[in-house]
Structure 1
Amino acid sequence: MIDLINALGKNYYYFAAIVLFLIGFHTMLTHSNLIKKVIGMNIMETAIFLFFVAIGYINDRSAPIVDGTPKTFINPLPSALILTGLVVGVSLTAFSLSLIMKLYKYYGTLDADEIMRIRSQEE
């Protein structure tokens, strides 16, 4: 048991990423409000970003910035990929929120269950 606690203490960022992902996943599954679903999706996205950055981090290493002294560096690739992921995530959030605004104007509600009920009555 002590070994498990030591392993969690040493790799707390992996544990934090898993907890964040589960919070976002739970939010997406249990709430029918579309805004809350988008927030849950963003929490899941943040957890994935944290996980990838944590993979690229190595203790006692520095950022890959040349300052004249040879050092060992961390891997910059996960951080570069996360920058691209952030742009895609913000774009996806903006697009989702614009669609939610259109749905609210048309149906008058943000509840996904209510929208499905209204759609089934229209057919």
Structure 2
Amino acid sequence: MDIDFALKEEQPTPLTTKSNPEVKRDFERWDCSNHMSPMTIKHSIPEVFRDTKSEEITQAKGFLNEIEKRFAKNDKVKIALVLTSLISIKYKRQENVREYIMEMFHFVS
């Protein structure tokens, strides 16, 4: 069984009375995977992050997107940390000037 099938494929069209067996099989496979994926993800991540609005989310992709939003990068914080590090670093006359410059390059990179 492909647990990640719902993450790889888009949701198939809803079943109708005229759906052929192949379409029904694909929909059932996707639906089963869509139910299993969030459960597997929830048990794999720490308990602190399980509080995602999972009751409102009906698809596995939506669940992963919500988790991704929680860990989105904040470039302003990163820039502030670099600037703080550069401002706080001071040349101590006991150190080598080359080491001081290399340390500044290390912060920037």
TM over 0.5: no
User: Structure 1-normalised TM-score?
Assistant: 0.26
Greater C-alpha Rg: 2
Task: Pick the structure with more helix per residue.
Answer: 1
User: Structure 2-normalised TM-score?
Assistant: 0.29
